Each structure stands twice: as structure tokens, then as C-alpha cells.
């Protein structure tokens, strides 16, 4: 009995030994096979290095230790991209699917500690019709999951030796991935059922003068969230003024969070499209400064309707909500004076139909509520139709009680002028197009006076007195509680839309606060009597 047991144990040990030998031999064979396949099938312009290959045929697993890839340009041999990682592992390989269905089925592909560096301006020549099509795959490739752990992405601009994009701590999961001969023809050579992305930080070079930062990015399915957003000019105000040839805003914008829901983004034929039903911007704070001593930028400025209409993509944003924002605008005109400052706070904005895909009579509508200069309630509505090529628009607004002294932080540094008095309420409506606009403004105001100062900020009493002779200091001077005037303005097409609004307001207020109308009426009455 004991001998029988001993024989059984010996047989089992022998079988186990045989299995181990076969397994070792098979794994070694396939390791060599994988290595040969890599050498034979990787294009010549891609350099491949790794410390070791391990294969487990029973578990359907292949792993490369410390692999790296240098992708070079075919014509210049310059390195276009570099990839390295601690481990590249492929698990859950199904032999049955390939033998029976001629499909390659993989459970999971893992990229651990992936480091990617690429140069955005190094590109291979565009493909021509004479070039051969990519080699057909032995069959469709189905991958349950592609995962990147602790990744890092850097995109460089080699011409200026600067970082264009940098992403830290990238976590990415693609689920139910398909690669076939058809997907290989697309810019993104695969399709997937779902995606999730997380990063710890993002840097983007937004242009020659501005950078964009975010402390975190999350993408889950079709929803995107950015946190801790910072968009700013990368130079100081003084340095920016020295290096620009024409005037430009110095910008510093912080945003607590940006949420975009149900994103649909892609390319159909030659048309790129982007759509979302809702974009939410939480607690933006914008500080904008302009040095007016720099030469004017006299290039043509499009109105916003035309800019949206002529975008290179099909854009559809059903709704935008800006929550609890603030804007501070500073403008410096005189070197010896501080900048004049305007501010909006408690700002809530609702935008509907920000799009170049809708059809008339639909239009873009922007509703604004906030506080002007810390104390005055502001409401405004702005409408335009991107399909109207004359860029017609309407802009209606209401401003509550405003102490003119609140405006002195803007007016005084620019003009050496200060105002006294109170504007109880202001209603205005501006209608216009790309060439001309008309404003109707109604205002209730009291005790408006002007004080003029010299460079040392000493009041010039005589000049102030003369100026106040020509000022209509209250809206009741003609027996009416509210003074209503109209004005027409021609657009300066080298200036922005907001300059256009300001020109309208300036033209109407000059009429409202001076005694031109009264003088005209007196002359007309005198002529009639004569």
C-alpha cells in the first residue's frame, strides 16, 4: 500500500515536472516569438528597447519590463515622440477567440508609470495617394480595458524650446475598445464604449502671452470637470507694455470650477463639431488691465455674432451658466496717475444658444445680473442672431442707484475730473448692426456737478464753475422726473463690441447732461416769434 502511494506521488511529481518543463519551454518559445514579432513588425523609424519579456501562456499574459519607444520622423530622423514606462502588460489573451473566430481578444492592457514626450511641430509629410495603405490586421482586436497609471504627458514646441502642454498624474481607463482595419483609417485609430480620465495638474500654453493652468481634470463618460483654473498673462503689466507693439489686455482670471455635461465631440468627414447642453462656470474672478499709452491696435475687430458664425467648427452650446463672478477692469492713460478702475461683482450670467448651428428665428441670448461699482444693481439682456450677416443686435440694460462719486475711481485718474451727484435709475436700449447703432436712454438724476483738477490734484475752481454752467444738473430741469434722449453712433471697426456700447452711452450722456437741447429749443422758439 505504501509502495502504491509512493508510485502515485512519483507519477504526479513526474506529471508536474513535465508540465513545468512544457510550460517553461512554451513560455520561452513564445517569449522568443514575441521578441521576433516586435523586431519584424515595428517600423524602422520606431526604436524599441526593453529589459525583459515575460510570457505566461496559461494565464494569457505578456509583459515588457521598462520598455521605451523613440518615434522618429521618416524624412529627417529627428525624434518626434518618446514613450517610456516601468511595465507594459497585456493580460487575458484569449486563444480560443482567435482560433475559432479569427478575432484577437485581450482582457486588459496596462501602462504603468507612462511618460510621454512629443514635439507638436515635428510632423511627417502629409500622405499622398501613391502611398500604400496600412497593412490589414489579422482580425479585429477587442480589448476589455486599456489603463494608464501615474502617467505624465509633455508636449513641446521645438521652434521655441518651450513646453506647450504638461499633464501630471494621468489616470486613464478606456473600456470595450475595438481596433480594426476601419478604425485604423481614422485620426483616433480605435473606438471605445466608455472613458474616464483624472489628472492632478494641467499646464497649457494658450498663446505667446497667456498660459492656462488647472489643478485637476476629471472626465467621466461624456462629462468634463476642471478645478482650480487659472488663465493669466505670463508677464508683469510693466513688462508686457514694453514688449507689445500695440495695446493688449493684461489678464488674470481664476475659476473655482468648470463643468461641461454630455459632451459630443468629433469629426464627420472634414467637419469638426462640439456640442453640450450645459456649461457651468463657478466663481470666476477676472482682473483685466490695459495700458493706453501703447499704440492702438487698428486691425479690424469682428462682432461676436460674426466670430461665432465663422468658427472653423460646428459649435452647439445650449446653455451657459456663470455663477457668482466678478470683473475688475483697469485702464491707464496717464503715466503719473494710477489706472482708472471699473468693477462688477455678484455677477450671474445665463447664455442660451451659443451656437452656429441653429436656424432663425432662434437667436443667442445673454442675461446679466450683478452689482456695478460695489453698490449699484445692474441688469442687462443682449440678443443677436448669428445667421444675420449684418450682425444686428439689441442690448437693453438697467442700472439702479449710482452715486457718481463711485465712478471717480475710474474717471479721475483718466481725466483729472470728479463728479458729484446721484443717478437714481438708468434705463437704456441699444439696437444696431456692424455699422451703426441707436441708443434710447432714460435717466433720473440729481445734483450732478463736475470738479476739475490740475496734475497735482488741486481743484480748479474757476474752470469747474465754467463747466457746471453748461451742465444740466438734474433730470427735473424740464419738469420731468426722468430725462429721455436718443443718439446715433457709427461703429469704429478697429475697436471691440464693448467700445461700441461705450460710444453709444457717451454720445447719449453728452446730450443728457449738457444744455444743448434747451439751447436748441430756445433758438427754435425765438425764430418762430420772429
According to DSSP, the residues that pair with 152 across neighbouring strands are: 115
CA dihedral 430, 432, 435, 441 (to 10 degrees): -20
How many angstroms separate the CA atoms of 367 and 351, rounded? 6
Residue 116 lies in a domain: yes
Each residue's pLDDT tens digit, 342-354: 999 999 999 999 9
pTM, full prediction:
0.85
* Tens-digit pLDDT string for the chain (530 aa): 565 555 545 545 444 444 444 444 444 544 455 555 555 556 677 788 888 888 776 667 888 899 998 888 877 778 888 999 999 998 887 766 666 677 778 899 999 999 999 988 777 665 544 444 555 567 788 999 999 999 999 999 876 668 999 999 999 999 999 988 888 877 778 889 999 999 999 999 998 999 999 999 999 989 999 999 999 999 999 999 999 999 999 999 999 999 999 999 888 878 899 999 999 999 999 999 999 999 999 999 999 999 999 999 999 999 999 999 999 999 998 887 889 999 999 999 999 999 999 998 999 999 999 999 999 999 999 999 999 999 999 999 999 999 988 888 888 776 777 788 888 999 999 999 999 999 999 999 888 888 887 777 788 877 777 777 777 877 775 556 688 899 999 999 999 999 999 899 888 888 887 755 444 444 444 444 44
Angle at alpha carbon of residue 139, lines to 138 and 144, rounded to 5°:
125
In the chain, the number of structural domains is 1
The rounded distance, in Å, linking the Cα atoms of 263 and 147 is 22
Q: How many CB atoms lie within 10 A of CB 82?
A: 17
Spatial CA neighbour of 146 closest among 128, 182, 112, 173: 173
Q: Assess if residue 40 is contained within a domain.
A: yes
**Residue 45 located in a structural domain:** yes
CA distance 485 to 402: 19
Q: Is residue 60 assigned to a domain? A: yes
Collapse the DSSP code of 38 into the 3-class scheme (helix H, G, I; strand E, B; otherwise coil) and give the result.
Answer: helix
List Cα–Cα distances, 463 to 448, 460, 468, 473, 510, in angstroms: 16, 6, 9, 16, 18
Distances (CA, A) of 517 to 9, 445, 511: 117, 17, 7
Q: Which domain holds residue 41?
A: 22-123+138-155
Q: What share of the chain is helix, strand, coil (3-state, %, to 5)?
A: 20, 50, 30
Rg, Å, the chain Cα set:
34
**Residue 64 forms part of a structural domain:** yes
Q: Name beta bridge partners: 170.
A: 151
Amino acid at each position: 500500500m505504501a509502495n502504491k502511494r509512493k508510485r502515485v506521488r512519483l507519477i504526479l511529481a513526474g506529471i508536474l515536472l513535465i508540465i513545468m518543463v512544457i510550460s517553461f519551454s512554451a513560455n520561452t518559445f513564445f517569449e522568443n516569438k514575441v521578441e521576433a514579432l516586435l523586431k519584424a513588425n515595428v517600423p524602422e523609424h520606431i526604436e524599441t528597447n526593453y529589459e525583459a519579456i515575460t510570457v505566461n501562456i496559461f494565464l494569457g499574459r505578456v509583459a515588457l519590463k521598462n520598455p521605451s519607444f523613440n518615434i522618429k520622423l521618416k524624412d529627417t530622423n529627428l525624434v518626434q515622440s518618446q514613450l517610456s514606462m516601468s511595465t507594459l502588460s497585456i493580460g487575458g489573451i484569449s486563444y480560443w477567440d482567435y482560433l475559432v473566430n479569427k478575432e484577437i481578444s485581450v482582457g486588459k492592457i496596462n501602462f504603468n508609470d507612462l511618460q510621454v514626450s512629443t514635439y507638436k511641430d515635428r510632423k511627417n509629410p502629409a500622405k499622398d495617394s501613391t502611398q500604400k495603405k496600412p497593412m490589414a490586421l489579422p482580425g479585429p482586436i477587442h480589448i476589455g480595458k486599456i489603463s494608464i497609471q501615474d502617467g505624465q504627458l509633455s508636449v513641446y514646441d521645438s521652434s521655441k524650446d518651450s513646453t506647450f502642454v504638461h499633464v501630471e498624474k494621468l489616470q486613464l481607463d478606456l473600456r470595450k475598445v475595438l481596433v480594426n482595419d476601419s478604425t485604423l483609417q481614422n485620426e483616433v485609430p480605435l473606438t471605445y464604449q466608455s472613458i474616464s480620465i483624472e489628472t492632478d495638474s494641467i499646464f497649457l500654453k494658450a498663446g505667446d502671452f497667456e498660459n492656462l493652468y488647472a489643478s485637476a481634470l476629471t472626465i467621466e463618460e461624456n462629462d468634463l470637470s476642471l478645478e482650480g483654473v487659472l488663465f493669466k498673462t505670463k508677464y508683469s503689466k510693466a513688462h508686457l507694455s514694453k514688449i507689445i507693439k500695440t495695446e493688449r489686455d493684461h489678464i488674470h482670471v481664476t475659476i473655482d470650477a468648470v463643468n461641461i455635461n454630455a459632451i459630443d465631440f468629433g469629426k464627420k468627414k472634414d467637419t469638426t463639431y462640439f456640442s453640450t447642453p450645459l456649461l457651468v462656470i463657478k466663481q470666476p474672478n477676472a482682473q483685466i488691465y490695459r495700458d493706453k499709452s501703447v499704440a492702438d491696435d487698428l486691425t479690424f475687430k469682428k462682432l461676436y455674432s460674426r466670430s461665432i458664425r465663422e468658427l472653423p467648427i460646428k459649435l452647439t452650446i445650449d446653455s451657459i451658466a456663470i455663477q457668482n463672478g466678478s470683473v475688475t477692469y483697469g485702464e491707464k492713460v496717464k503715466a503719473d496717475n494710477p489706472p482708472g478702475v471699473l468693477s462688477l461683482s455678484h455677477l450671474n450670467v445665463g447664455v442660451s444658444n451659443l451656437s452656429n448651428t441653429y436656424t432663425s428665428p432662434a437667436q443667442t441670448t445673454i442675461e446679466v445680473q450683478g452689482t456695478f461699482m460695489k453698490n449699484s444693481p445692474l441688469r442687462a439682456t443682449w440678443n443677436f442672431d448669428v445667421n444675420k450677416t449684418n450682425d444686428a443686435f439689441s442690448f437693453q440694460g438697467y442700472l439702479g442707484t449710482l452715486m457718481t462719486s463711485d465712478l471717480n475711481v475710474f474717471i479721475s485718474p483718466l481725466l483729472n475730473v470728479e463728479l458729484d451727484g446721484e443717478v437714481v435709475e438708468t434705463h437704456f436700449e441699444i439696437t444696431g448692426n456692424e455699422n451703426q447703432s441707436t441708443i434710447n436712454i432714460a435717466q433720473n438724476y440729481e445734483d450732478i456737478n463736475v470738479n476739475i483738477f490740475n496734475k497735482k490734484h488741486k481743484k480748479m475752481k474757476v474752470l469747474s464753475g465754467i463747466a457746471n454752467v453748461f451742465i444740466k444738473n438734474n433730470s427735473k430741469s424740464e419738469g420731468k422726473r426722468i430725462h429721455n434722449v436718443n443718439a446715433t453712433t457709427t461703429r469704429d471697426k478697429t475697436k471691440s463690441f464693448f467700445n461700441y456700447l461705450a460710444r453709444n452711452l457717451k454720445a447719449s450722456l453728452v446730450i443728457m447732461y449738457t444744455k444743448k437741447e434747451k439751447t436748441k429749443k430756445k433758438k427754435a422758439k425765438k425764430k418762430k416769434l420772429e
